[in-house]
């Protein structure tokens, strides 16, 4: 499905569903064209690529999932591979990464995504109602920032929910450790790792190690991208903190389980040790050979008293040595 939104600077309004084949559509550098391909087919992607003369390698990237965020410079335009976050706590895989490909030109933006993204849906509604024209009036780099800022904002509710889950699990950990708690911690660890893999590369896209941007940004829009990078850094710091908390909680859980196992083994060892001489004596007197006083009626009573005496003696010795 192909949707188009064209901001005509001459009339100051956004036009919906324009004809992409019009040659004069991009002549005005102050105007901005947004082409959104949702749940697109290969034919639709190739159709738009022919109109804008996109490189075939970039189209191939759009048709196949790529786990790594990146930006490619094709001289006339930039090609981005980004990932939005879909969080479903009740599903087996809590974190699903939705790939978003973006072509950024001098006065156009083309977005391609297979599934719906709330951020793009919100921007599309604003374009249809002609609200917040500055989103498209400030140029393609600001329009890209609007999309990126919406995607980044989707991480914060997930961060807050993970924080709540970590606190809940830490309370349950000391009250009653169970197998389910371990599985929940491991699930949280997978979630934090998946989020870090998605966010960290995007930070490198918007700010290189030397402090320069990897694509052209107008001077007026630089503060917005600085704020975006700051948000990403805060999210990464939070994820790293959660990862450390989860690792620490798992180590604590292992210590608690190990201590309880040792306590159980200690008690079982004491019981086994007490019963070892009893087993020997009953086995000795149970041999099918003649023994002294075997015919006496008091032998059974004497043996029984002796067994209890050995058990009590061993019990007091263990208590004296504080083994039990």
Q: Report the pLDDT averaged over residues 174-191.
A: 72
Instruction: Judge whether 63 lies within some domain.
Output: yes
Residue 265 lies in a domain: no
What is the DSSP-derived secondary structure letter of residue 220?
G
Residue 112 has what pLDDT?
92
Alpha helices in 84-221 (DSSP H): 118-128, 134-137, 140-153, 155-175, 179-206
Q: With the CA atoms of 71, 74, 76 and 82 taken in that order, what torsion angle do they form, in degrees rounded to the nearest 10?
A: -20
Rounded mean pLDDT of 267-287? 73
Q: 86-90, 154-158, 289-293, 308-312: which range is least confident on average? A: 289-293
What pLDDT, in 10s, does the model give residues 121-133? Answer: 888 887 777 666 7
Q: For residue 32, what is the DSSP state?
A: E
Helix, strand, coil percent content, the chain, rounded in steps of 5: 55, 15, 30
Within a domain: 200: no
pLDDT over threshold 50, residue 3:
yes
Residue 189 belongs to some domain of the structure: no
Strands 13-16 and 70-73: unpaired
Q: What is the pTM of this model?
A: 0.73
What mean pLDDT is reported for the chain? 79
Angle between helices 155-175 and 179-206 (to 10 degrees): 150
Phi, psi for 18 (deg, rounded to 5): -90, 160
Write out the residue range of the structural domain in which residue 110 sits.
1-134
pLDDT at 86 over 80: no
Q: Kindly report the CATH number assigned to the domain that includes residue 128.
A: 3.30.460.20
Residue 209 pLDDT > 50, yes or no?
no
Does a structural domain hold residue 237? no
In a domain, 98, yes or no: yes
Q: How far apart are the first and last CA of the chain?
A: 74
Comparing C-alpha atoms, which of 82, 306, 123, 309 is closest to residue 206? 82
User: Rg of the chain over CA atoms, in angstroms?
Assistant: 35
Question: Is 22 a domain residue?
Answer: yes
* Residue 221 predicted with pLDDT over 80: yes
Number of domains in the chain: 1
Examine residue 217 and state whether it is found in any structural domain, yes or no.
no
Which has the minimum average pLDDT: 55-59, 71-75, 178-182? Answer: 178-182
């Amino acid at each position: 499905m192909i949707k188009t939104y064209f901001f005509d600077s001459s009339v100051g309004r956004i036009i919906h569903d324009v004809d992409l084949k019009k040659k004069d559509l991009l002549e005005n550098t102050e105007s901005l064209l947004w082409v959104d391909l949702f749940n697109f087919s290969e034919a639709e992607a190739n159709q738009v690529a022919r109109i804008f003369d996109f490189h075939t390698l970039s189209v191939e990237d759009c048709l196949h999932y790529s786990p790594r965020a990146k930006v490619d410079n094709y001289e006339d335009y930039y090609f981005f591979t980004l990932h939005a976050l879909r969080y479903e706590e009740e599903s087996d895989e809590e974190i699903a990464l939705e790939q978003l490909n973006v072509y950024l030109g001098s006065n156009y933006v083309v977005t391609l995504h297979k599934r719906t993204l709330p951020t793009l849906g919100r921007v599309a509604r604003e374009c249809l109602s002609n609200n917040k024209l500055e989103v498209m009036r400030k140029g393609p780099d600001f329009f890209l920032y609007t999309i990126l800022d919406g995607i980044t904002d989707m991480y914060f509710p997930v961060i807050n929910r993970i924080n709540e889950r970590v606190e809940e699990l830490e309370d349950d950990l000391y009250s009653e450790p169970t197998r389910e708690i371990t599985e929940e911690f491991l699930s949280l660890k997978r979630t934090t790792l998946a989020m870090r893999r998605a966010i960290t590369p995007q930070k490198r896209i918007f700010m290189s190690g030397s402090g320069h941007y990897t694509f052209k940004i107008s001077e007026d829009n630089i503060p917005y991208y600085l704020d975006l990078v700051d948000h990403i850094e805060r999210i990464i710091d939070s994820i790293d903190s959660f990862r450390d908390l989860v690792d620490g909680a798992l180590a604590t859980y292992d210590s608690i389980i190990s201590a309880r196992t040792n306590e159980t083994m200690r008690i079982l060892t004491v019981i086994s040790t007490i019963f070892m001489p009893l087993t020997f004596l009953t086995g000795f007197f149970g041999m099918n050979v003649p023994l002294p006083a075997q015919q006496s009626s008091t032998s059974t009573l004497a043996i029984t008293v002796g067994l209890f005496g050995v058990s009590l003696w061993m019990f007091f010795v263990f208590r004296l040595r504080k083994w039990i």
